Chain A
Amino acid sequence: MKIVVAVKQIATLGDEVEFTDDERAVDPDFLDYALNDWDSFSTEEALQIRDRSGEGEVVVVSVGDEDAEEAMRRCLAMGADRGIRIWSDALDGADPITVARALAEVIRREGPDFVFAGVQSADSVQAATGVALAELLGLPRVAVVTKIELGDGKAVVDRELEGGIVDRTEVDVPALFTIQTGINEPRYATLRAIKQAEQKEIEVVEPSDLGEPAYRVRRMYVPEKGAGAEMLDGSAENVAQRIAEIVKERLK
């Protein structure tokens, strides 16, 4: 069983932000980095399926600069076998379809049984890369999967709709699933595993043809706050007192 998992190193902002001079991106000095939450669930799911099948490998693939290897190492420390990182400067701030094209080129040659992506990345919430990738790979796909049962030549998966309703779906395999949080409990990597992961291979690949972007960022800005909340200042005691007043008043 060979499973490729697309993982992303996401960027988070604190309470301050400045933009690059052309205003098309956030100044990287203001960003922190982490593995996308969804991608730790999809990595875990791949590892469990590999281990149940008793053979095969889990390959993590990421589009990102050298820093993205930190997120990849986390997946390797969880137990993934090897990594492939794809990068060229043209991928900086790329739209999800361009990212999918870069991923497709590499994943196609791996010929996996399954490809997993996260439902969405927490920093850009496109919820698009996985399904675009499936299309480019010519694979059947199901988005927002909360359960996977493997059968012969097909799988039955739960797709979680709005309101929590589940659509049980039968899907031909090989297939791509976008994995929803809560599908499993991602393992913590032990210190020893983190050390060992340093030795695992991460191949670096430059994409050949990225095609035309699906969108281009014209400018970024801090959104207007609207009316905004009335802020309760002072000590925790003062804040609690005001909250208690508001609650009692409104529930009268």
Chain B
Amino acid sequence: MSVLVITEHIRGEVRDITRELVTAAQDLDGPVAVAVIAKDPSALADAVNVSGVDEIVNVAVEQEEFENDVYAGVVEALAKEREPDVTLTGFTVNSMGFAPAVAARLGLGFASDVLSFRQDGDGLVAERSFYGAKVNAEVEFPGKAQVVLMLRATSWAPAEGSGNATVSDFQAPQIESRARHLEFVDVEQGDVDITTADFLLSVGRGIGEKENLAQFEELAEKMGGVLSVSRPIVDSGWVPNVRQVGQSGKTVKPKVYLALGISGAVQHLAGMKTSGTIIAVNTDAEAPIFNVAHYGAVADLFDVAEELEKLF
């Protein structure tokens, strides 16, 4: 099956997900082409010429940075002209802006947040999760000659080495971009840096009320660590986002990560799953956080916190 990988880049840097997609593409046995959609695609060529890539397809466009109409227009044209069996994008914010649109417009097979995939007879089978990662499903694409898959980040190792891909050019179609990039605004740096702490005590929605937060901040300090949180705690405005762990927050790798009342959604796991020792406390025995934890306890976090207070 032939594969087309869509490169993701920002501020002139190719993002890791692209080389992860190249690795994933090797799970099928067809030629692998990588499309680079950029103002000056050749400037990014070295970064995508990694082992496993057979062809680099340069698509010059006016825009330096990602805009969803530009990507949708180009990927649609590539799908029509080159007819790749499988088009791979990351399950990333950028790709969320165009991949489903291309599949909807052309009536292609489509699945997102894909964990694995394989050829099965003439068709393709992809694996994805449902119900808060408690159930997995195999999905198939009956009658679809082309399939678009958005793959979960950090599930494949990034491809390395240098490749010897051939390079071709592809003429971008005329595109009217209706959602235009103005500027990037970087996250403000706060006075805490959760990325350098050896011990993070991390709390999630399980703590219930804002009033409960202070005790965990104190406990974190008492235990010699720093308080971090999952996204809903930041969304509620209880703490600033410098303490947020996860895909849209910080990636952390402390020696010990103690998660209290965090379910373990993929976007949270993306930010902490490589921590040295992960300990999770949750009342739900099937919470997916236990799949990445080294130690787990099915218990009420308030009871455990109260006992921990006494021990430090």
Contacts and interface: CB of A to CB of B under 8 A. Distances in A.
B142 interface: yes
B312 A244 contact: yes
A228 B286 contact: no
Interface in A228-247: 228-233, 236-237, 239-244, 246-247
B28 interface: no
B256 A15 contact: no
A185 B238 CA distance: 12
Given A135-B72, A214-B141, A236-B304, A221 B135 contact: yes
Contacts of B126: 215
B306 A236 contact: yes
Contact of A162 (B93, B130, B294): B93
Interface of A is mostly: mixed
Contacts of A191: none
A214 B137 contact: no
Contact of B277 (A175, A178, A242, A250): A250
Contacts of B214: none
Nearest to B115: A223
Interface of B is mostly: mixed
A244 B308 contact: yes
B184 A166 contact: yes
A26 interface: yes
A220 B183 contact: no
Contacts of B134: 13, 17, 222
A12 B301 CA distance: 21
Interface string A38-81: 00000000000000000000000000000000000000000000
A132 B101 contact: yes
Contacts of B306: 236
B175 interface: no
A151 to B, nearest CB: 12
Interface string A181-223: 1100100000000000000000000000001111111111111
A96 B129 CA distance: 14
B285 A142 contact: no
Nearest to B276: A250
A236 B132 contact: no
B198 interface: yes
B112 A168 contact: no
B298 A231 contact: yes
Contacts, number: 289
Assign chain B's interface to a size class. 35 or more
Interface in B83-135: 91-94, 96-105, 107-113, 125-126, 129-135
A211 B107 CA distance: 8
B18 interface: no
Interface stretch (A1-9, A106-114, A122-130): A122-130
Nearest to A156: B182
Interface in B249-263: 249-251, 255-256, 258
A223 B182 contact: no
A15 B134 CA distance: 9
B157 to A, nearest CB: 17
Given A144-B96, A216-B139, A182 B235 contact: yes
Nearest to B309: A240
A64 B263 CA distance: 26
Interface string A120-162: 0011111111011111100011111000000000001011111
A231 B178 contact: no
Given A163-B187, A220-B135, A243-B258, A15 B284 contact: yes
A233 to B, nearest CB: 8
B73 to A, nearest CB: 11
B266 A125 contact: yes
B135 A127 contact: no
Nearest to A135: B101
Contacts of B184: 165-168
B135 A168 contact: no
A168 B141 contact: no
Contacts of A159: 93, 97
A97 B105 CA distance: 10
B78 interface: no
A182 B185 contact: no
Given A131-B97, A162-B248, 4 more contacts: A125-B130, A126-B112, A160-B248, A168-B184
9 contacts: A97-B110, A140-B178, A144-B97, A162-B92, A171-B179, A216-B141, A242-B295, A244-B311, A246-B295
Interface of B: 10, 65-69, 72, 91-94, 96-105, 107-113, 125-126, 129-144, 150, 178-187, 198-199, 223-224, 231-232, 234-237, 241, 244, 247-251, 255-256, 258, 266, 276-281, 284-286, 290-291, 293-300, 303-304, 306-308, 310-312
